[in-house]
Structure formats: structure tokens, C-alpha cells
Amino acid sequence: MKLTGAQILCESLLKEGVDVVFGYPGGQVLPLYHTLTQYPQLRHILVRHEQGAVHAADAYARVTGRVGVCFATSGPGATNLITGLANAYMDSIPMVAVTGQVPRAMIGRDAFQESDITGITIPITKHNYLVMDVADLAKTVKEAFYIASTGRPGPVLIDLPRDIQQECAEFHFPARVNLPGYKPTLGGNPLQIKKAVKLLGEAKKPVIIAGHGVRISRAYKELKFLAETLQIPVLTTLLGISGFPESNPLSFGMIGMHGLAPANMAITNSDLVVAIGMRFDDRATGKISSFAPHAKVIHIDIDPAEIGKNVAVDVPIVGDVKTVLVELNKEIGPVRHDEWLTQLSDWKKQYPSGIDIRESETILPQYVIRKIWEATKGNATVVTGVGQHQMFAALHYYYDKPNSYITSGGLGTMGFELPAAFGAQVGLPDETIWCIAGDGSIQMTIQELGTIRQENSPVKIAILNNGFLGMVRQWQELFYQHNYSSTPLWCPDFIKIAEAYGIPAQNVTRKEDVGAAIKKAMETEGPYILNFVVEPEENVYPMVPPGAGIDQILHEPLKEAC
Amino acid sequence: MASNKHTIVALVADRPGVLNRMASLFRRRGFNIDSIAVGHSETPHLSRMTIVAEGSDSQVEQIRKQVEKIIDVIRVQDISGLDIVSRELALIKVKASAETRSEIMQIVDIFRAKIVDVSTDSVMVEATGDEEKLSSLYNLLKPFGIKEMTRTGRIAMARGGQVARREEAAE
Ligand SMILES: Cc1ncc(C[n+]2csc(CCOP(=O)(O)OP(=O)(O)O)c2C)c(N)n1
């Protein structure tokens, strides 16, 4: 039986197990949207801006481990996906984006709402397709999902001319893909694993740095086994947070620019770094020349191009983190590193600044995060925007639940939090999702409150309202002589905005009300917004100044510079 | 970190945009492409590209790994360290009068190049060889007056049994 291109796409999505799509219609995807109503199994969620669709699909993918799917029309619809695609690309998120395109005969003529979206997205997608023959469509979808979800995951875009959506072809969904140029390596090289085992046996001061790869490959058990058997302290990157339980005595927290002092000190003094599913981002390493100067490096990553890219590696192991760890774990036996662990614990006592909250009459953002943690007992998924609030949420909530900290790491996209929290809630309908928002960040995609209301999504939103673009203001304070150029931020009355969207909300201005407000939000069915008016000039500490080594830690505000 | 020229050969699927992907990747990673030459390979639907780029060994290794990630790239190899044959083709249109023509022909002969077109005031020379040979030919012809020149950029292949092709030939 012949089907239209639009039907072939829908059928193919069903074959891939897709049940939810985030999107926004328009002229060049009309045939697809027309067809969608024949497929009630494909729940389409209408967002308010295409950036909302792509971030929602992104977070949906992060929490479920499935491929997130979004639709947009051609031209402005497609270009509105750019930030979200770049975000998904930087954080290795499996995603398939389908965009409408002008009919084939119009391509290249600057037709109304034409944009060369495959050309534009080459550097920010893992792969992309412009479908020029309806007979290729099913195969293209199969390939797109395969590429998006295997190896190092990433976004794949399919550009679909309008006439292809209408043309008919036989529907054959291929059982397998055949991509001779794409063969991800899953298992580690046995020789390299042997070498790693040897180094692990010799190390006196080893550390594990767990990155996003641990979470992507869901290697929680395997990481725990490795760390506990060999008694190695575990540090995480920002995206590695919630890959290893922070209540574990071997957990020493986040590394990098806002990493905890003991974690950064441990790296600097270590003799072996076991980097697992991380890519040595400059925000994690600080100045490369002073990163782990005394250490040998074992690097496990599925992407061979990551190995040796930023840091010289002694033992490269290319493969899926979980598979490699299973193999590695077979070869190891119990070891102790008591002296080393004592040293780390001493540092922890010596430098408590990262997690201590100072006394204050006013509401400190850290305090709000801590109270949310207390109220949820850690049993929630936290989604953040980008800025100080993101770092406070990283440092002051304790992540024991696997994969429970969702943030934009690689691209650092303000405006990620609201659509992502919504997308996460779609993926985890029965779980508590807390959206930790900045007053600046949330305003970039605040229209997604409309989506949240329309879907009655029970997202709990905490705005940490400091009246500034806080993180930038912090840099201006520390490194630009307090010159607050364009960082004071006028905010609308968030309560009235919430009211306009039909979402219950509450201002919280007194410290003693914080706990009760959080409780109220959690007891209220459906979405809830809390606007916490926090200390305006609170800073994130510890901090490693940009360009410095990660052991050059600022624990306190600098005195007035020059 | 010695910076030198590297010859990279890639076997790629004949798909629209492959060249764009390749060029875009070099640009994004901050690499200058000296030359890039593409044409059919021994296998239908597959093309072979030769890219000449400058960089340290580790930079080129990184770019090679990044190129390998392009889905349409089936295989890629830095053949700089191998024993290779590399060639470039040049067409050079030189001013030639009745008096200078025989002198030009002599030079062309020495370089085992060919004259492929003659007009009243010029000749067109076709030459193949490595870049140095073509450059010396060019330098010798320059005094006569070069009207136009075009060069293909390098294509290259490893000598002997070393083959840069798809390992699993069967689909
Ligand atoms: C789209 C985008 N634009 C600009 C930036 C640069 N930037 C990083 S943090 C930040 C300030 C964020 O302010 P706010 O959301 O109020 O959060 P706070 O730091 O105050 O917690 C800015 C402007 C960015 N990361 N993303």
C-alpha cells in the first residue's frame, strides 16, 4: 500500500517507538500536521517557540534515554531551532529534528520562508539530511535515529520539502541500517584495558573524574563498583553531577571553575586521573598546563576524537563507558588508598566554603536550593538555566538519585530551564521536577509557561530573582572593577505573569517563609511558581578565575581591585 | 610542535554536501586547507579526496579523527609519513611570439610537459608532477609572460601494497 511522505514519516516514528513530539506548525509542514491527527499515538505538544520544542526534546531525551523528537516549519521555524540544536550537539543528546522545507522545485530560489537549514546546521548536528526522494524517507528516518542514539549521541536533522510530504511511495521500514562510514566502537581494546589495570594497581593518589558519559551510558553501578573496589575518590564535571551518589564517602564533588576545593586540589596532587566519559572542557580543567601536572591519564570515551584533544593521554580506551567499565571491573581486585582519602577529607575540613552557607538575614540563593533539597529529600529532578543559580543548584543540592541534575553544560544556554523542565516532566510524568530559574534566564523562554499551562504540567518553578544577570555581574565585580555594564535587570511582576498564564504563584521575600513556600508549591497540583527575592549581589564561591589553574581557588570575595 | 604540510586522503560517499561538510569541518577547527581535490574512486558511488593542510602532527591527528566522524566519510588516512606518489596537474597559458616559441618548447620538453594549444600570441602548456616541479616550470616560463594558470591541487596515493580503501568492501 502506498502512503504519503507525511504518513511514512509518522509510521517510521512509530516504528522507532516515538510517542511524543514537541513542535510548532507552519506552511511547509502543513501536510505533516494534517496527517498527525490520523496518528493519535503520536502525542504532539505545541510549544510557544521552536527553541522551546528543541530544549524540551533535549531534556526529554536526557531523562528517558530515548531520542527526543521535534518538528518545525521551514525558514524561521527551522532557524529558531539553531540554539537548541547547538545545545544538544555540545551535550551529546540524542535527538531527531524534522523541519519542513519549500517544495523541491523552489529550493535554491530564495522562495518565501526558504532557508538552507542543512547547510546552516552542518557544524551543530551529528548529521543531517535533505530528503529529495520520498522513496528514501523511511530509510532516512531509520538512519537518523540510529545515528542520533548510538556512539556519541547527538542531534540529527531531517529537512523535508513540502511536496515530499505529499508524494506517495510504498512504505518499507528497513530492519537494519547500513552506513559503511559509521561504526561506533563499543568495547574497549583489551590491551589498553590491561594497561589501565596496571596503572590503577600502581597509583598512590588516583582520582576518577566522572563526566556526562557515565550518565548517557547509565553506568552508575559500574562506576560505583570501580570506585569502591579500588577506593578511588570520585569527582564529577558539571554534567557528571548525579552520575555518582554524593552521599557516598568516596564522592568529593564537582571540579572546575566553580568546583569544590578538595576536588580541584585532588586533581592537582593526583598521580593518576581516570577520566570517564568527559571531554576536558576548559571550564573543568582550568589552565591546561597546570591541570593534573603529576598524573598519568586514563581516558575512557566513546568518541576517539575526544582522546588527546585537550589533554595528553597515557592510556586511551575508546568505547561505551558502561561496556568498558564492565570489562575493566572484571580485571580488578580490592585496593586501599587510606592515606590519600584522608588527605582529601582533610582538604574538605580545611576548605568548607563551597558547601557552607553563611549566616544572613536575607534570602540567599544557596539557602533556597538547600531548602528545596530538604523538602524533596533529594527525590526530584532538578533542571536549571544558566548563571549563578545553575552553579548554586549544582553545589547546594545533593544528588544521590541517578541522572537528576539536568543542565546546559557545553553551550551554557540561558532560557534552557523552562522548556527543559517541561520536557523532563513529559519524560517523567510521575516525578517531581524542580525548575531552578534565573530572573534573566527564564525571561528568554518565559512564553513556555503557556505550554506548561496548556499541558497542565506539574513543574515547580523557583526563580532566584536577584535583579541582575548575576553571573555576569559577578565577573564584572571581580574582574571589571564593579563596572555593572548592562547587568542590572528590570523584571516584570512574575506573579502577574503567572496569573496571566493561569499558574498559581507566590513572592517570597522573607527567609522564614522559604520552607513553607516550597512545601506549598509541592502540595499544589499542577504547576507552581515561586519568585524568591534573593540577596542581589551574592557570589558563587569557590571560583577559579578564568585562565588560572584549578588549584588557584578564590574562597572569598576579592577586595576592591585596582 | 613542528608545523608541516600533511596529505590526507579520504574515501567518501558521493552525497550532496560532502565537500561542504569536509570544508566546514576544517574551517570550524581553524585549519587552513592548502588544496583539496575530489574525483571518482575505483568503487561506484564513492569518491576519493586528497586534502593538503598544514599543522603539527597532533593537530592533524585531531582533524583526521574529526573527519572520520563525518558520517559520509568511509575512511580517512594521513599518508604523509608513507612512501607516496603525489601529482598535480597545471595548465599554463604563456605569451609566445615567433621568436620565443622554440625556447618555450625546449623548456616544456625538459619538463616532459606538453603543449596542448597554440595561438598567434600564446601557447597552452599542460604539465603534471609534484608541486615543486610545477613551480619550477612556472618560474622558468614566467619571464615570457604568464597569461593564465590553473592548477588542480595535489592528488596522492601510497606506493605498493598500502591501500587506503574501504575495508569491508561488501555491503
Ligand atoms: C543565551 C545566552 N546569552 C547570554 C549568556 C551569558 N550569560 C551567562 S550567565 C548570564 C546571566 C544569567 O543571569 P540570570 O539568569 O539572572 O541568572 P543568575 O546568574 O542571576 O543566577 C549571562 C547573561 C548565556 N549564557 N546565554
Mutate-to-test residue for ligand 1 from A386, A443, A485, A538, highest number of ligand atoms within 8 A of CB: A386
Task: Determine if ligand 1 sits within 6 Å of the CB of residue A438.
Answer: yes
Sheet containing A505-508: order of strands? A405-406, A381-384, A433-438, A460-465, A528-533, A505-508
Pairing between β-strand B4-13 and β-strand B46-55 as defined by DSSP bridges: antiparallel
User: Cα separation of A351 and A369, whole Å?
Assistant: 21
Assess B103–A contact: CB distance below 8 Å, yes or no.
no
The one-letter code for the residue type at A3 is: L
Assess B21–A contact: CB distance below 8 Å, yes or no.
yes
Taking CA atoms, what residue in A is nearest to B22? Answer: A122
pLDDT above 90 covers a percentage of chain A that reads 96
As a whole number, mean pLDDT of residues A481-488 equals 97
Contact yes or no for A142/A113 (Cβ under 8 A): no
Write a three-state SS string for A181-203.
Answer: CCCCCCCCCHHHHHHHHHHHHHC
pLDDT band at A560; cut points 50, 70, 90? very low
DSSP three-state, residue B88? strand
User: Cα separation of A177 and A415, whole Å?
Assistant: 36
User: Cα separation of A264 and A188, whole Å?
Assistant: 28
Q: Domain residue spans in chain A?
A: 2-170, 190-350, 365-533
Query: Of all helices (H) and strands (E), which one includes residue B124?
Result: strand B122-129
Domain A2-170 has CATH 3.30.950.10: no
Least CB–CB distance from A181: residue in B16, B65, B74: B74
Asked whether the domain spanning A365-533 has the same topology as the one spanning A190-350, the reply is yes
pLDDT band at A561; cut points 50, 70, 90? very low
Contacts of B72 (CB under 8 A, 6+ apart): A181, B12, B13, B15, B18, B21
As a whole number, mean pLDDT of residues A100-116 equals 96
Contact yes or no for A288/A267 (Cβ under 8 A): no
Contacts of B20 in chain A (CB under 8 A): 119, 122
Nearest to A478 by CA among A534, A536, A533, A540: A540
Taking CA atoms, what residue in A is nearest to B12? Answer: A181
Contact yes or no for A247/A398 (Cβ under 8 A): yes
Least CB–CB distance from A305: residue in B13, B69, B73: B69
Task: Determine if ligand 1 sits within 6 Å of the CB of residue A468.
Answer: yes
H runs (alpha helix) in A203-260: 212-216, 220-230
- CA contacts within 13 A on the Cβ side of A483: 6
Ligand 1 atom closest to residue A469's alpha carbon, by position in its atom list:
13
pLDDT averaged over every residue in chain B: 91
Count of A–B CB contacts within 8 Å?
Answer: 43
* Cell numbers at A520, concatenated: 506549598
**According to the model, what pLDDT value does residue B152 have?**
94
Query: Of all helices (H) and strands (E), which one includes residue A339?
Result: helix A338-350
* Cell numbers at A436, concatenated: 531552578
Other CB atoms within a 10 A radius of the CB of residue B3 amount to 11
Backbone φ, ψ for residue B8 (5° rounding): -115, 130
As a whole number, mean pLDDT of residues A484-496 equals 98
User: Cα separation of A318 and A281, whole Å?
Assistant: 18
Task: Report the separation in Å between the CA atom of A440 and the middle of ligand 1, taken as the mean of its atom positions.
Answer: 6
How far is CA B136 from each of CA B106, B114, B131, rounded to the nearest angstrom? Answer: 14, 15, 9
Name the DSSP letter for residue A350.
H
As a whole number, mean pLDDT of residues A277-281 equals 97
Task: Determine if ligand 1 sits within 6 Å of the CB of residue A502.
Answer: no
| pLDDT at residue A315 tops 70 | yes
Ligand 1 atom closest to residue A411's alpha carbon, by position in its atom list:
25
Task: Determine if ligand 1 sits within 6 Å of the CB of residue A386.
Answer: yes
**According to the model, what pLDDT value does residue A145 have?**
98
Assess B114–A contact: CB distance below 8 Å, yes or no.
no
As a whole number, mean pLDDT of residues A221-228 equals 98
Task: Determine if ligand 1 sits within 6 Å of the CB of residue A464.
Answer: yes
Task: Determine if ligand 1 sits within 6 Å of the CB of residue A472.
Answer: yes
**According to the model, what pLDDT value does residue A321 have?**
98
Q: Any idea which residue has 596503572 for its cell?
A: A199
Contact B70 A147 (CB under 8 A): no
B57-86 residues touching A, CB cutoff 8 A: 58, 61-62, 65-66, 68-75
pLDDT band at A356; cut points 50, 70, 90? confident
As a whole number, mean pLDDT of residues A342-370 equals 90
Assess A182–B contact: CB distance below 8 Å, yes or no.
yes
Contacts of A84 (CB under 8 A, 6+ apart): A50, A51, A53, A54, A55, A57, A58, A70, A413
Nearest to B167 by CA among B96, B75, B86, B104: B75
* Cell numbers at A58, concatenated: 533535549
User: Cα separation of A175 and B88, whole Å?
Assistant: 45
Fold (CATH) for A365-533: Rossmann fold (3.40.50)
Please give chain B's pLDDT, 171 residues, in tens. Answer: 456 889 999 999 998 889 999 999 999 988 889 999 999 999 999 999 999 999 888 889 999 999 999 999 999 999 998 999 999 999 999 999 999 999 999 999 999 999 999 999 999 999 999 989 999 999 999 999 999 999 999 999 999 876 655 544 333
Name the DSSP letter for residue A468.
B
Backbone φ, ψ for residue A119 (5° rounding): -65, -45
pLDDT averaged over every residue in chain A: 96
* Cell numbers at A5, concatenated: 511522505
Nearest to A171 by CA among A209, A203, A139, A201: A139
Hey, CA dihedral for A411, A412, A414, A419, is it positive or negative? positive
ipTM of the complex: 0.89
* Cell numbers at A266, concatenated: 585532588
**According to the model, what pLDDT value does residue A355 have?**
77
Ligand 1 atom closest to residue A464's alpha carbon, by position in its atom list:
21
Nearest to A381 by CA among A432, A427, A456, A345: A432
User: Cα separation of A212 and B16, whole Å?
Assistant: 33
A134-173 residues touching B, CB cutoff 8 A: 147
Taking CA atoms, what residue in A is nearest to B20? Answer: A119
- CA contacts within 13 A on the Cβ side of B160: 4
Name the residue with the closest Cα to ligand 1, atom 9: A387
Contacts of B65 in chain A (CB under 8 A): 304-305
Least CB–CB distance from B74: residue in A180, A304, A309: A180
Least CB–CB distance from B21: residue in A122, A180, A182: A122
Nearest to B49 by CA among B57, B40, B58: B40
pTM for the whole structure: 0.95
Nearest to A243 by CA among A359, A378, A401: A401
Contact yes or no for A20/A60 (Cβ under 8 A): yes
Task: Determine if ligand 1 sits within 6 Å of the CB of residue A84.
Answer: no
**According to the model, what pLDDT value does residue A376 have?**
98
Taking CA atoms, what residue in B is nearest to A184? Answer: B69
Contact A304 B28 (CB under 8 A): no
Nearest to A374 by CA among A434, A464, A459, A442: A434
Contacts of B66 in chain A (CB under 8 A): 305
**According to the model, what pLDDT value does residue A28 have?**
98
Contact A119 B171 (CB under 8 A): no
Max distance between CA atoms of chain B, in angstroms, equals 61
Contact yes or no for B149/B92 (Cβ under 8 A): yes
CA distance from start to end of chain B = 41
| pLDDT at residue A352 tops 80 | no
The one-letter code for the residue type at A551 is: D
- Domains belonging to chain B, first-starting first, are 4-81 (3.30.70.260), 85-155 (3.30.70.1150)
**According to the model, what pLDDT value does residue A347 have?**
93
| pLDDT at residue A562 tops 50 | no
Query: Of all helices (H) and strands (E), which one includes residue B155?
Result: strand B155-158
Tabulate helix, strand, coil % of chain B (nearest 5): 25, 40, 30
pLDDT band at A325; cut points 50, 70, 90? very high
Contact B66 A305 (CB under 8 A): yes
| pLDDT at residue A353 tops 90 | no
- Give the pLDDT confidence of A131-179 residue by residue, as tens digits: 999 999 999 999 999 999 999 999 999 999 999 999 999 999 999 999 9
Report the CATH architecture of A190-350.
3-Layer(aba) Sandwich (3.40)
Name the residue with the closest Cα to ligand 1, atom 2: A414
A50-64 vs A417-427: helix axis angle to the nearest 10?
A: 50
Assess B14–A contact: CB distance below 8 Å, yes or no.
no
* A431, burial (CB in 10 Å: exposed 0-12, middle 13-18, buried 19+): middle
* Cell numbers at A146, concatenated: 540510529
pLDDT above 70 covers a percentage of chain A that reads 98
- Give the pLDDT confidence of A179-190 residue by residue, as tens digits: 999 999 899 999
Task: Determine if ligand 1 sits within 6 Å of the CB of residue A443.
Answer: no
Distance from CA of B10 to the nearest CA of A (A): 11
DSSP three-state, residue A247? coil
